[in-house]
Structure formats: structure tokens, C-alpha cells
Structure 1
Amino acid sequence: MFRQISRLMFATVYSVAVALVAPAFAQNQDDFAFWPGATYDASIPTLQSIAGHENGERITKPEDVVAYFQALEAVAPDRIKVWEYARTWQGRPLIYAAISSPENIARLDDVRTGVAALADPRATNRAEADRLISSLPGSTWIAYGVHGNEISSTDAAIMTAYHLLAAQNDERVQKIMNETIVFIDPMQNPDGRARFIHNFETSEGLEPQASRLAAERNEPWPNGRTNHYLFDMNRDWFALTQPETVGRIRILREWMPLVFVDAHEMGSDSTYYFAPEAVPYNPHLAADQRASLELFGRNNARWFDRFGFDYFTREVFDAFYPGYGASWPSYYGAIAMTYEQASARGLKARRNTGEEFHYRDTVRQHFVTSLSTAEVTADNSEKFLREFYSYRVSAIEEGRTENVRSFIFPATRDAAGARKIASLLTTQGAEVIQANAAFQACGASYDAGAYIINLNQPSKRLLRTLLDENIEIEQGFLEEQERLRSKNLPDQIYDVTAWSLAQMFNVEMDACGSLVIAGDFSPFDPTASEGGLTNPDASVAFLVNWGERPAARLLALALRRGLTVYSSDLPFTLAEGEMQFNAGALIFKREDNPDNLPAILEEIVGETGAEVIGVSDSWATSGPNFGSFNVVKMPAPRVAIAWDMPTNPYSAGNTRYVIERQFDYPVTAIRMSQLGSRYLDNFDVLVLPAAWGDYTQEVGAAGAERIKDWVDRGGVLIGAAGALRFMANPEVGLLSSRRENAAKENGVAAPGDDATVEGKIIEDEQGFLNAVEPKTESPDPSAGVMVKAVVDSDHWLAAGVAPELNVLVRGGDIYTPVDLNTGTNVARFAGANELVVGGHLWEQTRDQLAYKPFVIAEPRGAGQVIAFTQDPTVRAYLDGLNLIYMNAIFRGAAHATPPR
């Protein structure tokens, strides 16, 4: 808990002062009420008293949101407690509040302990569970504003807290307060909200504008949806890449609320959406969870009918992908839902029907569903508590009896990747053990260090959801998607269909039909130290094997600290074959580095967990010696990334995050308008992230020539996904690969340029279908499917990379292989029958994608052009692709030959 009264007073004075000089945007609220007929306790602070405006009159700033909840706690500490649970990248606090009766607030610690006991049926028998169920309050957690430009929910959070504490004639409030605890996370993305408000206030004029063309309602790139690193944090719940998400998971595990709502906004032309969700449902959801969604939907509908609000259910928003805020809580046993409000994207909006609505209207509807949700929890507290306990009981039983009863990560090539998965699962509440000695399970032998996850635990459904190679989609749903596709209509797959952590990290995992019990095991400790420096007194060099994330981080930090590093393009062995090193192994020669090299490396090892080996003899019994032309010096590349439209902000932010935060190497973001500048010579590597559209028009002919000249003189150009539409454009000429149209089995040739074409007789229905089929189009896009790529290990870009990679394919862009005279297809997709690893891919797209390139490397003059046909850094959760991407940056710079 935190109270900063002096800061509160400052925020209050500051906000009021700002309100006095702000444009006169206040909307007439004389005939408007959030809850008609409500009367409020005057001792509870209003938003006006803190921020200088009424709720719904302005968009409340992040600092005022925090100040308001602090003010509520200062006045009513017996009914509301406020805590900070994390800080954003930009240093803003993330807070949550618990609101309940004085009796429940006084026993919060006991409630937390009781819920933890109920969550583990192995320690809490049925009789004790019944006692807890009869004594514990229910709990509703409402999370607002994970997307910063979905503005109304945060002000609805303020109104909900105010109403629960101040309403004097709402009979539901007393029951909600007595029977439940309402947790409010008012602002999940304050950095994005601040960005939106800044853009809005910069553009607003004398009065609010409803036009969809108004600048105040059209955000500049990258808009406020995302956080500082431009992540969609509603996709980050199991990947846990962002501090906001990590903090949120921690507090949810602490309280395990029974009901979880993630409050969003959608397009202005829509109405309001609430549960039940659309199909497909994830098969690991329990039947009673799905059934309970109906209770909330019907109660929301009852209130919406009373107030005359429009709504819809069971469309668009599904519950299949587990990385949503409305999905992840389901897998500890909560009833989780998404609410979506048509957004004003400002203070006023006009639908395409001509109807106008105000920001306060959107705040009100989120406020109504917030109260309605808490009301359902209050009416069903004991039922939901009982179902929560049963969920945990049945999870354990399923883990004992289903065909898959354990997962094992062997201590193999990528131990760091397996360790990170173990850490991710532990952070999310799963129990992971590690072998202290070799053991046998399911007919296989495993070495010490392997990670074991037995499924007879309460987190079983989460584990199956995150680790199964494939999550089955309902057959009827897939058949309907094929029907829609046959008519050239959009499919209804909302997000990716594959996300197995083992696949995304490209690590080996075995599914076992038995529980692993016999052996010497200890609970996995994610805080235990890793790596080390062997033989620090070595006289010749220090070596680091290549192939895992710690080595790549060590390289980045070593270059930043000015060390001289070499790397071998080929594997080699020392000490009569006893010491084996992969292609890409790093070499720190004593003679080229400071005398205190061992101390510097020891410090970097502590930060990265890498393994460093000192040697006093450089004689190689196989492979190149240290002075070979196959051993290259690794420069410290100056890396730039394209920023601004038409760059896809997700791709730009995710890529920058991977380089900067996962590998500790700085990146300079440069505006698209500056790509043609002569100052591009200040950089060695230029990253073109995926694009919304095509870079060609934005870069222009002169800019394209400037980039080509820069590459010719030794620059390294790295492009991903949509950026290849620019690079592979024949008029640009940076890449010899070409984007393909869809391959058609029965297609008719395009008619060409003539004004008339030959007449044809259509004899049957198949002839009609052939006639209406588009003559040229892109392959059918995929929402997201995991496929296999095969790596050419002879190329320097593949140094240390596994022979096969798992790639998330999204969209419909497919590119031709390059010929050997031009470049190298460093990684190409597998054949059609072996291609799909997880998820759903259209058959025609699968057949056309087979054997096409994933990674292309083309030398150009003194530089390099490296192309990834799919985005390797998407959502920063494809850790299995990180090494080849770091190779593109660091080894790409090492294999360019600019004048030094």
C-alpha cells in the first residue's frame, strides 16, 4: 500500500489549474446521470475534486487516475486499499484497489490465505474446503485499459469505485460489499494512455469534433494502443515479456479472483459486446466455466434492456488463444470474459449511420457492466467458490489419468531455452522439478539437469494449453471457415492457432504417459545462478560456445564494453578433440584485450549466465585455427531501425525490444523520412520491420537508391515480413526473390490488356466456380500457424543455429527461392507433408509454402541483404528464432566488407 499525501495535494492543485486554462470542452451534463436516481455521500471525493473535471467530461490523465484512487483510500481506508504492483518502462505506477465492506477489508490477509488453501486440494480436503467456501467472500477483478487508446474503461473504473463507496440508495452495493471483494485495476497501460491523451490534446480545438476525419480522433503513428515498446499487452499474458504483465500475473496469483473481466473498446460503428464468447473455445476450458458466462451475459443484457443500450454476444471475440487477459485467468480456474465498448476515440463520435454519441456514454456503459458483473458474483459467491475448488480438484485428477501425464525437457542443446520455459511456467504458478541425477522415464534415459513437469497438479490445464504441440479446433468451426473461404469471404479465426512454448523456443520436449516419480529431483529454482568462467588464468584466449541466448547476450555486452572479439564460421576442436566448439564460437584473445580481461568476462558472466572457458593452447585438432580466414572479427555494429509509417508499430517495437532488452544492445530509431539521408552512413545495420502496406512509396526512388548505395558500400540491410514487398520489388532491386500470387489448380489465365476477351460457355457449377475465382490474388492468409523450416548449416548466418526451426507464419506473403548465383536460402520451409507443426493452415497455402524460403542472404557489393519472409520477433515470444536474428545483426556486420 502507498500513500503520498503531498503528491496527492500537488496533483489536485495541478489538475485544477490545468482545467482552468483548458479549452471549454465541457459537455452539458445537466440531463445526464451515470446511474439515474443515485444519491452520493458528499464525504467521498469526486473526480472533479481531484482532476478538475467531471467523469466523462474529459479523458482522465494517468497521474490523475492514481491521485484519485489515493484520495479514495485516504478518505475511506476501511473500505478501500490501494497497492502499486509494477512500474512501466517509462516509470509510471501501476496500481490496483480492493473495495469491500470494513469487515472484509480488515481480514484481507485471511482471505488471501484462505483462497490459497482452496486452490490446492492436495493440502485442503473436502471438509476444510466446505468450511472455507462458507466463510470466504466472492471476488470480482475488473481490469481496465490494457490498450491505451481504449479510453473509456479507465474512467469507468473511477466511476465504479466512486459508486461502490459513495452510493447511498443502491441496494446492490451493500450486497456486493458484504458478499464480495471488488478488485479494480484501473489502468493497465498508462504509457499508452498518456500517448493517446497527448495526441488528442495537441489536436483538439474549440469544441469536440465527431467527424472520423478529425485529427483529434486520428492518432499519429504508433498510436496509444501499445505500451512503450509498442507491445499489444493483451497478447503477452503467458509470454510475460513486459513488466506490466509480469506484475499483473503476480498479483492475480496472489488473490486468484473468481471472476475476471478485461474491459476494452472497439470501433465506433459498433455497439457493446459481452460474453458468451464466439467459437472456437479452447478445449481445456471446463464446462462450468462456459456455463457461467451465460449468467453474466444475461444480467448485463437485463440492465442494457432497462437503459435502452444495444449489445451483441457470441460474435468476433473468441476464447481460444490463452494469451488474452480474458483467457489466461481461466486456466487457474476463474470465469474470465472480455467486454468491448464502441469507442468515441475522443470526446465525441459519429457512427456511419449519422448517430452521434459522447465519451460519457461510453464510460457509462462500461460502468453499468462493471456493477452488473459484481452483482452476479455477489449472487453466486458460494457457487463460484465451489466451482473454483472443483476446477482444481478435477485438474489434478485429469493429470493422473489422461494419456499425457508429464512433460520432460531434456538437458540438451538449448539448456537456456528450456530453463526460460521452466521459469515462465513457475512464474505462472506451475510446479516444475529438476533432476539432480540421471533418471529413466517412459522408456527413455535423461541426464541430470532435465526439467520435469508432472501434470497431477492444479495448473494442469494451463500446462496442457501452453505445452501441447497442437490445440484442437472444433471441426465444425473449421468446416465453416472452409465454406467462407470458398466464397472469398473473410474467415473468423481471430488470432494465432499455435503457441506451444516448446515450439516457439525450439527446444526438445517429450510428452510422457506416466508421472515421473523415481529419481533424485528438487523443485526448480529460477533464481539459481547460471554459467561460469573456467580457467581464469588461461594465457591464450577465452572461448564461448555459440548456440544459446546467454552467449549472444555476452557478445553484445562485450562489444559495448570495448572488448575485441573474434568468431569462427566453422566448428573446431582443441585439446586433442576433448574441447568441441560450434560454428559461431566466440574467441577473446588475451593479446588483443585489456589485462583485466578475466575480471571483465567474470562480470559479464554474472549478468548473462554464459559459460566461458579459458585456454592456454590454441592448437586446433580439427577446424580452423584462430588466425584462419574462417575466423572473423566481430565489429560493434551501429544499429538503426526504421520508425514511423508505414512501419508496423508492433513489429518495430517488438524487434527493438528483442535487441535492446533481451540482448542488451542499443538501437537507434530513425524516421522513415530520414532513410534517404546521407547520415545513414553513421550506421552499419539497418533493420526494416514488417510494414503496414509497402515501404516503396514512403522511401521513394531516391531513398531506395540511397539505401542500395549504402549497402553496396558495406551496410547490412535486414528486412522482415512486409518489408520484403519493398526489398523484393523489381523497381527497387534490393532482393532477387519475388512475391508470389496464389497458385491455382484450375485457374483461368488473366485476360491481359485487351478491352474484350473471348466468350466462354459455362456448362456446370464447377465451371461457374472456376469463372468467379479471382485470376490473380495472394495466397490465403493465415492468422498464425507454426511450421517447420530447414536450415542450411553451411552458411555463416546459420552458425550455432539448430538444423530445424519452428516459424510462426502469418498473412499470405510467400516468396520465391533465390538462385545460388545470387544468394543463399539459409532456411527454407519443409515439404508439405512435414510442414505444419501446430495450428491450422489452409491446404492450398500449405502446398504453396512448402520449400519456399524463410531466411535469404544475398551479398551486395561490400554489404549484405538479409531477408526474413516471416517476422522472427513477433510478440518477442519466438525465442527459438533469436539466435539466427542476432547472427543477422552481428555476424552480418562481420561479413560485410566496408572500408575499415
Structure 2
Amino acid sequence: MTKFLLFITLNIPFLLSAQELKSPSNFLGYEIGTQFSRHHQVVDYFTYVANYAKENVKLIEYGKTNEQRPLLLAYISTASNLKNIEQIRLEHLKNLTGEGSPNKAIVWLSYNVHGNESVSTEVSMQTMYELLTSKKQYLDNTIIIIDPCINPDGRDRYVNWYNQFKNKNLTTNPDSKEHHEGWINGRSNHYMFDLNRDWAWLTQVESKQRIKYYNKWLPHVHVDFHEQGVDSPYYFAPAAEPYHEAITNFQREFQTTIGKNHAKYFDANGWFYFTKEFFDLLYPSYGDTYPIYNGSIGMTYEQGGSGRAGLAIKTNIGDTLSLKDRFNHHLTTGISTVEVSSKNAEKLNSEFKKFYQNKNHKYKSYVLNGNTDKINSLTNLLDQHNIEYGFGKEATLKGHLYSTNKTGNFKSSTNSLIVSTSQAKGTLVKVLFEPNAKLSDSLTYDITAWSLPYAHGLDAIATTNTIASASSDRKIDAEISIDKNAYAYITDWNSINDAKFLASLLKENIRVRFTQKPFSLDNTNHKRGSLIITKPDNSNNKEFLSVLQTVSKRYNKNITSAQTGFMDSGKDLGSNSVKMISKPKIAVLSGDPTSTLRFGEIWSFFEQELDYPITILDDRYFKRINLSKYDVLILPDGFGYSEFLEGKTLDDITNWVSNGGNLIVMGKAIKNLANKKGFDIKTKEEKKDSTISLKAYDKNERERMKDAITGAIFKTKVDITHPLGYGYNEDYFTLKLGQDAYEYLDNGNVVYLEKNNNHPVSGFAGSEAQKRIDQTLIYGVQKNENGNIIYMVDNPLFRGFWENGKLFFANAIFMVN
């Protein structure tokens, strides 16, 4: 037996070469496209093919998900190309500087970024098989990179759920349970984030790991495979307007070239499809737009189906849409994309080179001032995108001021961050930093404003001339010196990094205070919210000083050692205005009332940023919870609160607040508390126009845009004396996602839109929506006996990328008491 096993082991390569490459169906033991494969089966097939066809396939694991599933890339080409793949890659990247003469087309196919849009991972296996067999002629001048599943955690969540609830016999009735996922669905990743909107912001582990390899290749063509509603036909390029102005004529034209090739095959098969609708090319964090702003032909392909479709479903016109149908459509467009790219390899290379040359962007440099932590947060993001930057010098600059949205003067210093468009990633810089993206059409698929200076809370100027900068090869480190003989230790409160520092100390049972009043000591001014860690408060903690030193170093925190509690001006450290920060026990509602995405942002914030424990409560058993065990309860944004916030549940929450609880209510959850007894929040009354205006049917959609705000940035005022506003300046730029409007509170208006300041500084807001939000609340606090109700109309944690909002959320947790 041992000799037989040894013979088999030694001769595996021979045996493999003596057999034909197995198709996915033969390998898996079922016809591909007739059932859903779990992620480990997909990994097994890709591993098998890579072992079988070593000369033609190189398989790498580029990372792992939060649930420890492997993330894979398969490189597919001829033996000669793969043998020289690193030289091909480097020659390709020479196009960025106008050097070299590459002749290979680089095509990257990304599957299943949304886990319950599940057919595409099945297609990835068959696509690889076809490229190695019947379509291998395309490999001569093409490198194909396949990511079989961007979101394995979400996909396995869907597949496991579907396999649990599907009927034994094929059930096409859309009423069946197998066609109705629950609240925790497969679309998003472990933390309920939409990975298709995270390409630019890189908040999630999958995105961070993938972008390293994407930027190593910067392919000519990138396709993101999706599914849409059951009753929709297939969508492929060209995309809809608005196109961002940075998109080149060739990128537009080649989308049409590929679309027409797809249409040829769809026409021959009698398959329905559409182009130029719904899916535009503006928001920079999609799997089509991010590649476009890096020189690719980026495209989204959308097959009707998604999580509702299962193995087969009846459409609204009585047809049956099967998994096999969905499979064949995606397989066709994937192979067609490779075909067109291979036939146009020379053109793709020449146009890719042009993309990176002779850019004439309006703004040549962006100069940013601000808190060191905020600068570091932004440079960390730029590093991940391979965006170059430097630091400035003492000077007065003229250009577009982000603070006023007008031309003016700006003081720079040696700590000013400078990011120029005169670099390889210049187009991406323009798109991410420009004050206001130009809209060719107000009907868009996503938000219309995202400018990084606003998102990171930095004062900035955009200049039409290039500003020289010094090397970026430095890190601004704090001078951390803990005097063991000091009476107290003081540090500032300005950024989310400070909140991480505080959370870490509380977890280590270090007692921390904060000041409600400014004070000065030893010629240093300390603002409201400054953290104070005293030796008397921590006298029973033997590890106090060593923990403080370790945590300060971890978060690069400047610590001022105070030899006395007697202040030069302002309140002394023993004053009642110097409050102890509790170690709050926090609960977050999940389940049907809430949006999975909005819940996920909160969950991710606590676990991946603050690293502070929370308890997740589900609406199904919420009535049985003893709320007195918690200090903070968070109600995430969501559309399902109308029944939840009624009767005994509402009474229990109200009584808990009265007894000292802090309730944080976000987004649409506020609607269900507005105008109710015990809640000061009131919806703003709309003034109806009595004039009757008749409109043509096809104008209705555009008329509705008058009432819409599609992710626009507004300048608001902040009450910096309120604990919810600690760490902020008097102006705050909020990202507003809709027209919900609430009147000012009687007291506790912390962030608000002033009268006649209802126009966006960036992005689209309809004329009627602007009127509606005039003089309305953004964030406010209602005192309710011993507790507080914190209203957050706008989302400070949106998609994890609105960095400057996060401190408001931390204030709501730690400072409001």
C-alpha cells in the first residue's frame, strides 16, 4: 500500500498531463449553473486547474476575509507570457511615464462583489476553463486576471442560506421563502459593507488587500460582474450619463466597441439587453469608475436575478429565469470582453499611454492644513492608492478656498500637505480632491459629492499653478514623555485618533476625565474636551504609568505632564467642570427596523476603528432585554421603525432614558420619534404651493429631482461649547443624503444649517429640497431628566469614509452625559 501511494504521489504531474483538463461540471460532480457552489469548492477548482495547467495559470492568495476565507487571483495566459509575466507587468507600467513598448492587453475580471449576486462566481470557473480550451487563441497577446469572488463571506452567507431553504423540487413561484432573504442577506461583507462602493475609500479588509494587486497591474480593461432585479434584462456598456469630465473620448468609445460585440452575441441568441441607462460613471468608488480614473476601460455588467432569483424564478411577464440563463449571459460577455481586448491590444496600449500623458487639469495642486492626526489619516489613504504627495513651506497662496467656496488667500506652512495633479495618478487626484465634480446630468445612481478635504475635515485650497513640495518621506511623530512624578497628564481631543486613544485607556481600566471649560497651564491653552488623566484617580492601578506610556506611543499622542492641579487660568482640575468619563456599556439595535448597511457602519466603527466592545441586540427579542444593563443604546438608520417604536417598546426606551440612558437615534429612525410625546424633535412643515402645474409624463422623473439631494455637501454651524461639538471648529461640512428636515430644538442644537445657507458647496440638491432644509437641525441633544436623546439627522459614519464626522459619534458615546 505504501509503495502504491508513493507511486501515485510521484506521478501526479504525469497523470494530470495524461488526462484532459476537467471542466467545472466534471470536477464538481454537477452541471455548472444548476446549483450554487460554496467558496471552498470554487477554491478547490481553481487550485486544481492551477496545478494541472501550471504553464498557463498562476494562482495566488492575495489575502483573507474577516471570516478567514481566502481571496484569490488567477493569472491566465500562454506559457511564454506567464514565464515572463513580471517583465510584461513592468513593461506595461512604463506606459505611466510614456516609456516602453508593451504589446499585451491586460484584462481583469472581478466576480461577486455582492455576495447574493451569486451566479458570477460560477461563471468565473467556466470562463477560466473556456480560456484554456476553446478560447485559448486569445491568450497569445493577453494576460487575463480573474478574481473569482471579491466577497466570499457574503456569498457563502447567501449560498448557505439558499441551500437551507430551497425546495427539493424546483420552485419558481416568487412567493416561496427561497426567494426572500432575511435581514442579514448575502449582498454585503462580514461587516455589512457594500464592497462595490469601497474601491476609493478602502475601509474594508477585502478592499485594502485587493488594491495592492490592482495597483501593481492597472489593467487596460476591468469588468465588475453584477446582478440586478429579476425583471430586468441584461445591462452592459456603454454606461449612462453623467460621465465624469475626466473620462477620455477613447474610454467612452471603447465602451461602445465592447458593447456592440456583446450585442452581436445577444442578438444571435435572442437575449434581451439594454445600454446607456441607470448605471453612470461619476462616483469614484465603484468597480467601474475607480479603474476608469486609473486609465482602464472600467465596466459594470448587470444580469437580472440577484438574491431573489435562486435556481429559477417566474418573472412578472410569466417567463422563467433560471440560474443557467444567468450563467450563459455572464459567460458570454466575459469571453466577449477578452475577445475584443485581444483584438485591440495595440490600441489599448497606445491609449493607456496617452491617458497618463499631458494632463491639463484646471487645478494643479491641492494644499491642505489641519490637525496632524487628520493629515496622517489622509496620507495613509494616499499611500494605499500610490498617490504622491509632499509638504509645503511658509507662503501665501491664492486659489479656490474650500472654506468659503470662493477665490481667496491661504497660508501654508511646513506642515501643509501638498497633492499635485502633475503625477501618474493625477486624474485620480483630480477626481478625489476637486471642490465640486461637474455634473452633465442630475439623474445619478449615487452621491454627487465626496471631496477628500471636506471628508477629512481639512482646510484646503485648490490652485491653478503647481506648488512645490518637499519630500513626503517623513512621519510627524509626537514627543511622548511621561513624567512619573507629575500630578496629571493632559492631551487634546481633535480627531478620531484621540477617540481610539481614549477607548484603549478605558479598556485598560485607566480613569480619564475631560474638561467642559478651556484652561491654560504653563503658557499652553487647552480646549474644551481635552483629556485629563490624573495620578490620584489611578492610584490603585499599579500599571497606570506603563499603560499610559504604551497607549500614548501606540496612538502617537502628545502628552503634557502637569505638576499641579492649579491652573494659570480657567477651571482647576478639581472643578465640577472637569468630568469623569464613564466606561460605557453600549448596545446597538440590529434586525428588521434597521438598514443592514447603516448597522454595519456602526459595527465596523466600534470593532475596526475604536476597538471598543458593543452588544448587538436583535429586534426579535428586544422586548425581553433589561436595558438598565446599558448606558448607551444606538438606533441605526432604517425604514422599519414604525411598528418597533410603539407601545411598550417605546415606553421602555423612554423610561430608560429618563433614568440616565443615552439614546442615539440616526437617520430615518428619527422620523418615528418626531412629534411624539417626550421627544422634542419636530419635522419641518412644508409650505405647499397651491399653483397647479401640468407636466408631461416623461418629465416626471426630472421634476422629482427638485425634491432630491443626491449626496451633497453643505456648510453648517457648530456649537463648540456643547460636549457633542468638542474637537470641532465652528464650521462643519456635512454630507447630506436626503431631504429629511427637522426644526431646531428648544435647546441643544449642536450642528445646524443657518438661515439662507441651504445651498450645497459640492454636489446636487434640488431647488425644493434646498428650501426644505433651510434652518434645520443636523445633530442635536435633548436632555430628558437624567439621560439624553442624541439626534443624528445626517450620517457621520457614511460608508466609513466621512472621516470628519466620526468624532461627533465618539462625542455622543463618551462626552455627552
Quick one: distance in 2 between partners of 1:444 and 1:707? 49
Q: 1:641 aligns with which of 588, 592, 605?
A: 588
1:100 paired with 2:77, answer yes
Contact 1:551 1:611 in 2 (8 A): no
SS in structure 2 opposite 1:384? helix
Q: CA deviation at 1:511?
A: 1.0
Counterpart residue number, 1:6 = none
Query: What letter corresponds to residue 107 of structure 1 in structure 2?
Result: N
Q: CA deviation at 1:806?
A: 1.4
Counterpart residue number, 1:262 = 224
Describe the superposition over 1:674-733 as per-residue Cα deviations: whole angstroms up to 9, x where unpaired: 33334222111000000124x130243011101111111111000111010122252xx3
Quick one: distance in 1 between partners of 2:497 and 2:695? 59
Quick one: distance in 1 between partners of 2:485 and 2:729? 30
Q: CA deviation at 1:118?
A: 1.7
Q: 2:516 aligns with which of 543, 564, 569?
A: 569
Query: What letter corresponds to residue 128 of structure 2 in structure 1?
Result: A
Describe the superposition over 1:486-538 as per-residue Cα deviations: whole angstroms up to 9, x where unpaired: xxxxxx32110101011112211111222122x6x11245xx47434234334
Q: CA deviation at 1:850?
A: 1.7
Describe the superposition over 1:12-45 as per-residue Cα deviations: whole angstroms up to 9, x where unpaired: xxxxxxxxxxxxxxxxxxxxxxxxxxxx996213
Counterpart residue number, 2:403 = none
Describe the superposition over 1:207-238 as per-residue Cα deviations: whole angstroms up to 9, x where unpaired: 12112211111101121100011111111111
Counterpart residue number, 2:577 = 630
Counterpart residue number, 1:119 = 96
Query: What letter corresponds to residue 202 of structure 1 in structure 2?
Result: Q
Quick one: distance in 1 between partners of 2:516 and 2:644? 37
Query: What letter corresponds to residue 657 of structure 2 in structure 1?
Result: V
Counterpart residue number, 1:431 = 388
Pairs within 5 Å for 1:414-563: 414-435=371-392, 438=394, 441-442=397-398, 444-474=410-440, 477-478=441-442, 492-517=443-468, 521-524=470-473, 528=475, 530-563=477-510
Q: CA deviation at 1:449?
A: 2.1
Counterpart residue number, 1:32 = none
Pairs within 5 Å for 1:233-312: 233-312=195-274
| Cα pair distance change 1:766/1:260, threshold 3 Å | closer
Q: CA deviation at 1:780?
A: 2.2
Pairs within 5 Å for 1:75-474: 75-121=52-98, 124=99, 129=100, 132-133=101-102, 136-167=103-134, 173-343=135-305, 345-395=309-359, 398=360, 402-410=361-369, 412=370, 414-435=371-392, 438=394, 441-442=397-398, 444-474=410-440
Give the structure-1-normalised TM-score: 0.84
| Cα pair distance change 1:790/1:394, threshold 3 Å | same
Query: What letter corresponds to residue 816 of structure 1 in structure 2?
Result: E
Contact 2:489 2:561 in 1 (8 A): yes
| Cα pair distance change 1:881/1:768, threshold 3 Å | closer
Quick one: distance in 2 between partners of 1:377 and 1:270? 27
Pairs within 5 Å for 1:578-727: 578-593=523-538, 594-693=541-640, 695-727=641-673
Q: CA deviation at 1:592?
A: 1.8
Contact 1:691 1:722 in 2 (8 A): yes
Query: What letter corresponds to residue 737 of structure 1 in structure 2?
Result: I
Q: CA deviation at 1:455?
A: 1.8
| Cα pair distance change 1:107/1:544, threshold 3 Å | same
Describe the superposition over 1:306-356 as per-residue Cα deviations: whole angstroms up to 9, x where unpaired: 222111000011011111001101111111111000116311111000000
Pairs within 5 Å for 1:27-46: 43-46=20-23
Q: CA deviation at 1:394?
A: 2.7
Quick one: distance in 1 between partners of 2:57 and 2:705? 55
1:855 paired with 2:779, answer yes
Describe the superposition over 1:388-435 as per-residue Cα deviations: whole angstroms up to 9, x where unpaired: 00110133xx2xxx442111112x3x2222222222122112111124
Q: CA deviation at 1:833?
A: 4.3
Q: 1:787 aligns with which of 707, 711, 714?
A: 714
1:72 paired with 2:49, answer yes
Contact 1:829 1:835 in 2 (8 A): no
Identity across matched positions, percent: 28
Quick one: distance in 2 between partners of 1:419 and 1:835? 31
Counterpart residue number, 2:4 = none
| Cα pair distance change 1:835/1:778, threshold 3 Å | closer
Counterpart residue number, 1:807 = 734
Contact 1:637 1:685 in 2 (8 A): yes
Q: CA deviation at 1:666?
A: 1.6
Query: What letter corresponds to residue 735 of structure 1 in structure 2?
Result: F
SS in structure 2 opposite 1:782? coil
Query: What letter corresponds to residue 683 of structure 2 in structure 1?
Result: R
Describe the superposition over 1:539-579 as per-residue Cα deviations: whole angstroms up to 9, x where unpaired: 2011111111221111001001100111111211111xx11
Quick one: distance in 2 between partners of 1:278 and 1:326? 12
Give the structure-2-normalised TM-score: 0.93
Query: What letter corresponds to residue 690 of structure 2 in structure 1?
Result: G
Contact 1:85 1:96 in 2 (8 A): yes
SS in structure 1 opposite 2:498? helix
SS in structure 2 opposite 1:514? coil
Q: CA deviation at 1:156?
A: 0.7
Pairs within 5 Å for 1:834-873: 835-873=759-797
Query: What letter corresponds to residue 855 of structure 1 in structure 2?
Result: Y
Query: What letter corresponds to residue 415 of structure 1 in structure 2?
Result: T
Q: CA deviation at 1:152?
A: 0.8
Mark the runs of 5 or more structure 2 residues left unpaired by the alignment.
Answer: 1-8, 10-16, 399-408
| Cα pair distance change 1:768/1:81, threshold 3 Å | closer
Contact 2:127 2:335 in 1 (8 A): yes
Contact 1:675 1:707 in 2 (8 A): no
Query: What letter corresponds to residue 502 of structure 2 in structure 1?
Result: L
| Cα pair distance change 1:363/1:832, threshold 3 Å | farther
| Cα pair distance change 1:768/1:871, threshold 3 Å | closer
1:59 paired with 2:29, answer no
| Cα pair distance change 1:687/1:464, threshold 3 Å | same
SS in structure 1 opposite 2:683? coil
> Cα RMSD (Å) of the superposition?
2.2
Q: CA deviation at 1:856?
A: 1.4
| Cα pair distance change 1:382/1:209, threshold 3 Å | same
Q: CA deviation at 1:767?
A: 8.6
Contact 1:741 1:779 in 2 (8 A): no
Quick one: distance in 1 between partners of 2:232 and 2:24? 28
Moved over 6 A (4+): none
SS in structure 2 opposite 1:197? helix
Query: What letter corresponds to residue 46 of structure 2 in structure 1?
Result: F
Q: CA deviation at 1:441?
A: 4.7
Quick one: distance in 2 between partners of 1:535 and 1:294? 64
Q: CA deviation at 1:742?
A: 3.4
Mark the runs of 5 or more structure 1 residues left unpaired by the alignment.
Answer: 1-8, 10-39, 168-172, 479-491, 749-764, 896-900
Query: What letter corresponds to residue 233 of structure 1 in structure 2?
Result: L
Query: What letter corresponds to residue 117 of structure 1 in structure 2?
Result: K
| Cα pair distance change 1:351/1:392, threshold 3 Å | same
Contact 2:23 2:126 in 1 (8 A): no
| Cα pair distance change 1:768/1:883, threshold 3 Å | closer
Contact 1:741 1:778 in 2 (8 A): no
Contact 2:758 2:771 in 1 (8 A): no
